[in-house]
Structure 1
Amino acid sequence: MARRSWNIDLDEMMRAGVHFGHRIKKWNPRMAPYISANRKGIHIINLTITARFLSGACDLLFDAASIGKQFLIVGTKREAVDSVAWAARKARCHYINQKWLGGTLTNWATTRMRLRQFRDLRTRDKSGKLARLPKREAAMLKRKLARFQTYLGGIKYMKRLPDIVIIVHQDEDAKALRECITLGIPTISLIDTNCDPDLADISIPANDDAVASIRLILTKLVIAICEGRSSYIRDL
């Protein structure tokens, strides 16, 4: 199956600040192979390695999307919230960009029940049924619906566990990563210089604090998913 070049450009990554790591004192020694230098007390990520791992992640996502696999993008840190929602909508993926609720994946039966309740409440609200209830009961259900929307809005149509999970900030969303590891769900994770590169199946060394860096990495992954989905549709 033919692949498109993902156009991973080192200069583009430099402009987005993908190469900036954390201060030296905050590093994880396991990140040593991915660091090229330190500048004014800040570790500099080797973008040649980043490009190689990002390309590998794109290849994996293309292949998975081309056979109809489903993806979940997770990024709850403030800098990632908007980019995660944009990427998921663009690539037609599920996403979580607010608080990760413990057991979202490992206690899937409970999550599935909550999602059914969420969809039912949305239907009742859109049809006007909630408005016809007593005010107190309607207000209580609308508050419940708002909570569902905040925490489960990005996965409201997820009917089963995802095939691959993309994690934008490994430390911030460590619970999500641990659940994936427990269930054996393949993961792709951005890793800054304070992260453990051995936890995710594919770790992409990159600045996970800067909006521009996050957006650039997600853009490449989205392109791969969209290309794969197009291939899947053509082959049907």
Structure 2
Amino acid sequence: MSKSKINIKELLSTDVHFGHSSRKWCAHMSPYIYMKQNGIYLIDLYKTIEKLQEACKAIQNIVYSGKKILFVATKKQAKDIVSEVSRKHNMPYITERWLGGLLTNFRTIRKTVKKLNLIDKKKKSGAYESLSKKELLMINRSQKKLEKYIGSISGMTRLPFAIFIIDISREKIALKEAKKLNITTFAMVDTDSNPKLVDYFIPSNDDSSKSISIILKYISEAIAIGISSRQKERENNV
């Protein structure tokens, strides 16, 4: 559980309840819709709180057990928020284009990550000092491209135990790969998406940076509690 009590007024003030147009919706979200107003579905925030609490508890337990959660958010309004939370807790994340096979063909992806790490290692050791400007330019371009797409998962040496997605309609491939490998799935799910595709879904506005930020605040707190509890147990066992 998050150490902060989830406040419904806070969720209201950050637009968590605003869904999509009633013309663009998924029928499976009907139990989580409070009403329709001016052609827009409004999410039942009491249901949001219930599902957010469930997600926080599960995430806390996952982190407490020492496992990693991969965060995925390639939409503009979520990128900075997700990368900040992920870096804070040393969790892998993807905020650029999802590379097909990142999970289902992880062995190949790891080879690419090792290539990136090797370039960095050789640069630091001075191994490239004797290269021509043209050769060094090509290496720098390769490093920059690799860093952009997989630099944020360079420390992910094995498949994550869970994946947290912002907008499952946008990140369909990531969700499909996770489900194929039985990786536990978490997601913010708006009124246009099917919550039944996710193990732990949070009915919420996944288009607003304010909404994404407040939901991730509670998720971040749950991760922090899990990490802290694990560290305390280790200290007690020494």
- TM-score (ref. length: structure 1): 0.96
Provide Cα deviations, 1:93-147, integer angstroms capped at 9, x if missing partner.
Answer: 1100000000001001101101100111112223343343112211111111001
Flag structure 2 segments of 5+ consecutive residues without an equivalent.
none
For the 8 Å contact 1:6–1:224, the answer to whether it is kept is no
Shift of 1:6: 3.9
> Shift of the alpha carbon at 1:39?
1.1
- The answer to which of 125-134 and 150-159 deviates more is 125-134
Give the structure 1 partner of residue 184 of structure 2.
186
Amino acid at match of 1:55: Q
Is the Cα–Cα contact under 8 Å of residues 67 and 232 in structure 1 kept in the other structure? Answer: yes
Query: Aligned pair in 2 of structure 1 residues 4, 77: CA closer, same or farther (>3 Å)?
Result: closer
Q: Structure 1 residues 131 and 21 mapped into 2: Cα distance closer, same or farther (>3 Å)?
A: farther
Per the alignment, residue 104 of structure 1 pairs with 102
Q: C-alpha offsets along residues 142-182 of structure 1, whole Å, 9 cap, x if unaligned?
A: 11100111100110111000011100111111110000000
- In structure 2, C-alpha distance between the alignment counterparts of 1:23 and 1:124, rounded to whole Å: 53
Contact 1:6 1:58 in 2 (8 A): no
Partner residue in 1 for 2:120: 122
**Residues 1:35 and 2:33 are matched in the alignment:** yes
The match for 2:83 is 85
Determine the structure 1 residue equivalent to 2:73: 75
Q: Does the CA-based 8 Å contact 2:3-2:222 persist in structure 1?
A: no
Counterpart of 2:62 (choices 44, 64, 68) is 64
Give the secondary-structure state (helix, strand or coil) at the position aligned to 2:196.
coil
Whether 2:73 is the aligned partner of 1:55: answer no
How far apart, CA to CA, are the structure 2 residues paired with 1:28 and 1:219?
27
Match of 2:223 in 1: 225
For 2:132, give the aligned amino acid: P
Cα–Cα, structure 1 residues 180 and 219, in superposed 2: closer, same or farther, change >3 Å?
A: same
Q: Which stretches of structure 1, 4 residues or more, deviate above 4 A after TM superposition?
A: none
For 1:11 and 1:183, how far apart are their aligned partners in 2? Answer: 38
Partner of 1:138: 136
What is the RMSD of the two structures over their aligned residues, measured on CA atoms? 1.1
**Equivalences, count:** 234
The one-letter amino acid of 2:127's match is: K
The aligned counterpart of 1:196 is 194
- The Cα offsets for residues 14-53 of structure 1, whole Å up to 9 and x where unpaired, read as 0110000011101111111110001111100000000000
Corresponding residue SS for 2:36:
strand
Structure 1 residue ranges without an equivalent (≥5): none
Shift of 1:197: 0.7
Provide the C-alpha distance between the structure 2 equivalents of 1:21 and 1:106, rounded to a whole number of angstroms.
Answer: 32
In the TM superposition, what whole-angstrom CA distance separates every residue of 1:158-209 from its partner, at most 9, and x where no partner exists?
1000011100111111110000000000010110000011001011100000
Deviation string for 1:43-74 (max 9, x for gaps)? 00000000000000000011111111111111
Query: Given residue 57 of structure 1, which amino acid in structure 2 is its aligned partner?
Result: A
User: How far apart are residue 90 of structure 1 and its match?
Assistant: 1.6
Does residue 149 of the first structure (1) align with residue 139 of the second (2)? no
Matched with 2:5 is 7
**Secondary structure class of the residue paired with 2:140:** helix
Percentage of identical aligned residues: 36
Judge conservation of contact 1:192–1:208 (CA < 8 Å) in 2. yes
What is the identity, as a one-letter code, of the residue corresponding to 2:175?
L
SS at match of 2:134: helix
| CA contact 1:168–1:208 (8 Å) conserved in 2 | yes
| Aligned-pair CA distance for 1:4 | 5.5
